[in-house]
Structure 1
Amino acid sequence: MKLYYAETLSPRKACAMAGYLGLPIEYVFVDLRKGEQTRPDYLAINPNGKVPCLVDGDKSIWESDAVICRLAQRAESGLWPQNAQQQIEIMRWFSWNNQHLYRHAGSLYFEYLIKPWVGLGAPEPAKVAEAQGFFRKHAAVLNQHLKGRKWLLGHDMSVADFSVGVTLPYAKSAAMPLDEFPEVQRWHDQLNAIEAWRNPFPVREERAAANA
């Protein structure tokens, strides 16, 4: 298997899942600043020009939630449960996250981390305030759901936890008011106890040289 990634939000969940499961994977870094995601050879495997993308034999799987489900399936892991009702619950949380929490937490991630990275200037206060307002609204829903539950589906961790939690490692640096939601904080602390969650990206030669 080959996992094409960049060190950004959506690939983070795929890399964390692959690392957690210990699957034999060849990681291929896609340099977004050089536009490598728009090269014809990459578009041939993901016509959207996005990361991550998993090439598994003759199958090319794009969209990060599909990628993490495939990885869990390949590892025969309970993170992708066999129970149909639990699978529906996972789909519900994937959809909810993409439309709500990830959407607005991702806006804060863009304002505080991506804009400086690509030279687009400082965060815009109006956009930050709007995104924080929506973050609070949706984090409150998640906070209520997690009361009495260890993980999103109950006692057992699943791919839904890896998906819904992916923005939260950046809460402090992207001004997400996570500390206002103790159940969400507690839940993310559990994820943060996992080494592959804290350090999901493989060490590249360029990064190793820069840190030497």
Structure 2
Amino acid sequence: MKLYYAETLAPRKTCAVAEYLDMPIDYVFVDLRKGEQSTPAYLALNPNGKVPTLVDGDKSIWEADAIICYLAQRAESALWPRTAQQQIEVFRWFSWNNQHFYRYGGALYFEHLVKPWVGLGGPDPAKVAEAQGFFRKHAGVLNQHLKGRKWLLGDDLSVADFAVGVALPYAKSAAMPLEEFPEVQRWHDQLNAFDAWRNPFPARQDQVAVNA
């Protein structure tokens, strides 16, 4: 298998799951600043010109949430739950995250980290304020859900935890008010206990990441 990635949010979850599962993967770094995601060779793998992309034999799989499910299933890992009801719960959290929590955590990540990284200047105060407001709203939903639960689906870690938590390693540097939500903080602290979560990206000689 080959995993094409950059050191940004969506690829982070795929690299973290692959590392957690100790998958036999060849990592291929895609330099976004050089436009490598737009080359004909890469577009043949992923017509969206986005990262990540997983190639397994003759299969090319794109979209990070699909990739982490594929990896967990291929490894026969409990990260992909066995029951239909729990699988529905995974997709519920994927959908909620993409429409709400990740959307606004990602907006803060973009304003504070991506913009200066690509030379677009500093954060826009109005956009930051708007994203923080929505982040608080949705973090409140997550905080309430996590009361009495160790992980999103209950007692067992799943791909949903890797997906929903992906922006939180950058909370401090991206001005996400994570400290206001003790259950979310507790849950993320549990993820931080995994080396695969703290250090998901493979080492490179030219380390140029968008990180804290």
TM-score by length of 2: 0.97
> 1:196: which partner in 2?
196
Correspondence 1:48-197 to 2 at 5 A: 48-197=48-197
- Separation (CA, whole Å) in 2 of partners of 1:187 and 1:7: 23
**3-state SS of 2:206 partner:** helix
Q: CA deviation at 1:206?
A: 1.7
Give deviations 1:95-117, integer Å, cap 9, x for gaps. Answer: 00000000001000000000000
- 1:100 partner SS: helix
Aligned length: 208
CA distance in structure 2 between the partners assigned to 1:79 and 1:9 by the alignment: 20
Task: Tell me, in whole angstroms, the C-alpha distance in 2 between the residues paired with 1:122 and 1:82.
Answer: 45
Q: What is the alpha-carbon distance in structure 2 between the residues aligned to residue 206 and residue 121 of structure 1?
A: 23
The CA RMSD over aligned residues, in Å, is 0.8
Residue 42 of structure 1, CA deviation: 0.1
Counterpart residue type for residue 164 of structure 2: V
Shift of residue 158 of structure 1?
A: 0.2
Work out the CA distance in 2 between the residues paired with 1:64 and 1:71.
11
Q: Report the counterpart of residue 4 of structure 1 in structure 2.
A: 4
Matches of 1:169 and 1:122 in 2, distance apart? 20
Runs of 4+ with >6 A deviation: none
2:23 alignment partner, SS class: coil
Code of the residue aligned with 2:96 in structure 1: it is W
TM-superposed deviation, 1:172: 0.1
Distance 1:153 1:190 in 2: 14
After TM superposition, give the deviation of residue 160 of structure 1 in Å: 0.1
CA distance in 2, matches of 1:207, 1:128: 28
Q: Give identity over the alignment, percent.
A: 80
Residue aligning to 1:43? 43
**Gap regions ≥5 residues in structure 2:** none
Per the normalisation by structure 1, the TM-score is 0.97
Question: How many Å apart are 1:41 and its aligned residue?
Answer: 0.2
